[in-house]
Structure 1
Amino acid sequence: MSIATQQQTEQKSFDKPEETRSFENGVVDLVTLGGAEIGRLVLQPGWRWSEHVKPIAGTDLCEAPHFQYHVSGTLGVLMADGTELVVKAGEVTSLPEGHDAWVIGDEPAVIVDFFGASNYATHAH
C-alpha cells in the first residue's frame, strides 16, 4: 500500500476552528488534521502564561511540550532549568514541559502549535 492510499487529503482553516479556548489576553483555536490537533494561539500584549493560564492549568509551569512556528510578534520563554529564549516571527521552537512564557512588546504573538495544543489551557489531569 502506498503512502498516498494510507492518508487522505484534508484542508481546514483556523477561521473555522473545531474548538476555541479563550482565556484572559489570549485564545487558542484548534483543528484536527491528519489525526493531529493543531492550534493557533493569539496572545495579546500583556499576556503571560503564569498570570493568565496557570489558574486554568493548575500547575506551577506550563507542562505541555510544544513544537511551534511563530507567525508574528515576540515571545519570551523561561524554562524550569533557567534557560531563557526570545522567539521572533519566522522562528520554530521545540519546548519541553516546564516553562513560562510572555508576550514582549506591543504586537500580539501569533503561534501555530503542531504539538501540545490539545492540552493547552485545560485543567491538569
Structure 2
Amino acid sequence: MAAQHELSFDDEVKAQLQPLLKGGNQLLLSYDDGVGPYSHHGLVALQVSFQFVIVGQDADVSDYEETLPSNLGPVRYKGYSGRFLGHKLHASFNTLMHAIKLSDEGEQIDDNVAVIVDDTATK
C-alpha cells in the first residue's frame, strides 16, 4: 500500500486559515490548471502552481476527489495533482516575502501559494 499524503501547517499559516474555516467551510489545495470552478489560470504548461481555496459546506467539490489529513482538518485536492506532491507536505509562511510556501520532504513545490475565499464560503 502506497504511503498517503499528509499536510502540516506552521503556526503563521494556521493563524491565517483557521478563522476562514468556520460554518462548515472546506479547505481545498487546488492545482491551478484551469480545471474546475476554483481554478482559473491554467498555468500548468508554465509552472506548478497551487492555491488554498476556502469554499462553503455545500460547494461543488466534485473535481477534488481526494482528501489528505492535516493539522487543520481534511484538505481536498484533485487526485491527479498528487503527482506533484510528496508524502509529507508542509505549508509555511515566508515572512520576508509575505507568502505561503508549500514544500515536501524533498523540495519546494510552490513558493507563493495564494489564499482564495470563494463566494460560497461562510464569511
Asked whether the two chains share a fold, i.e. TM above 0.5, the reply is: no
Higher Rg of the two aligned structures: 1
What TM-score, normalized to structure 2? 0.25
